[in-house]
Amino acid sequence: MKKRNYPGFTLIELLVVIAIIAILAAILFPVFAKAREKARDSACLSNLKQIAMALTQYNQDYDEKWPTLKVWGGGPDYATQFAGAIGYARLTNGIASSLQPYVKNYNVFFCPSDSQKPSSDPWIYGSYEYRWVLAWNSCQWDVGDSDFCTPASQVVYHESFDWHHGKYGLALPNPTSTQPICNAVYADCHAKVWKLPYQGTGAVYGYDPHWFAYGTNGGSIKEGWDVQ
């Protein structure tokens, strides 16, 4: 029988195949990265929904009173507040620890896009924080559900960083051309994406997550809110 010869690929053909694979990879990898980040964003929002449920249960157990910074040595001003209790929600020695009996999982306080590893170390901070204005008000009176002027428009718990979009901090100096976007819990305990409102040209920060941008008093939950 006559032996058949099967010629191999030429160098040009191999280079063409490699070039096609490289082009497809360049097209598909960003798509996969966006899909992965979208999944992490959804997981982050799910974490905050669990925190929202924990806040609801806490309020029910404490006669509709919200977690207070006074438990952790906080005072009515910046100088005496135990900032670590709310700033990035220190896990075992702050507001997050008040909610731990209801979530029973430290991982809930970490965004999947946050590179910091979950830990129960009291000096480790999570990815979310109790809203500073709420914590500040809780130092002055026992904040109850009825104290919020517009619960559906007042953020009470939020990501401490724009992990999923612009990848920058939430407090941006004025002027700025960017707008922070993060996942957040509102006073009526629903969770959704929060696009921070612009504070105005006279403000030190164009966007400031600590205070309300609208209303007659941005430092009071009784008068300030986040959206129009």
Burial of 48 (0-12, 13-18, 19+ CB in 10 A): buried
Is 2 part of any domain? no
Residue pair 148/190 in contact by the 8 Å Cβ criterion: no
Structure tokens at 173: 């100096």
| Residue 181 forms part of a structural domain | yes
CA separation (Å) from 60 to 14, 47, 48, 57?
Answer: 68, 20, 18, 5
pTM: 0.80
Question: How confident is the model at residue 9, as a pLDDT?
Answer: 63
Say which residues have a Cβ less than 8 Å from residue 89's Cβ, sequence separation at least 6. 95, 96, 109, 125, 126, 127, 128, 129, 130, 160
Instruction: Tell me the C-alpha distance between 93 and 101, whole Å.
Output: 13
- Residue 203 has what pLDDT? 86
The whole domain housing 165 covers 11-225
Report the pLDDT value the prediction gives residue 191, as an integer from 0 to 100.
95
Query: What pLDDT is attached to residue 224?
Result: 95
- What does the pLDDT read at residue 196? 94
* Regions of the chain short of the pLDDT cut 50: 79
* Rounded distance between C-alpha atoms, residue 210 and residue 81, angstroms: 14
Full 3-state SS string of 31-89? HHHHHHHHHHHHHHHHHHHHHHHHHHHHHHHCCCECCCHHHHCCCCCCCCCCHHHCCCC
> For residue 6, is it within any domain?
no
Asked if residue 130 is part of any domain, the answer here is: yes
Residue 189 domain-assigned? yes
pLDDT score recorded for residue 74: 55
Say which residue the tokens 């097209």 belong to.
27
Residue 157 lies in a domain: yes
Helix H or strand E encompassing 155: strand 155-159
Q: How many domains does the chain have?
A: 1
Q: What is the pLDDT of residue 132?
A: 87
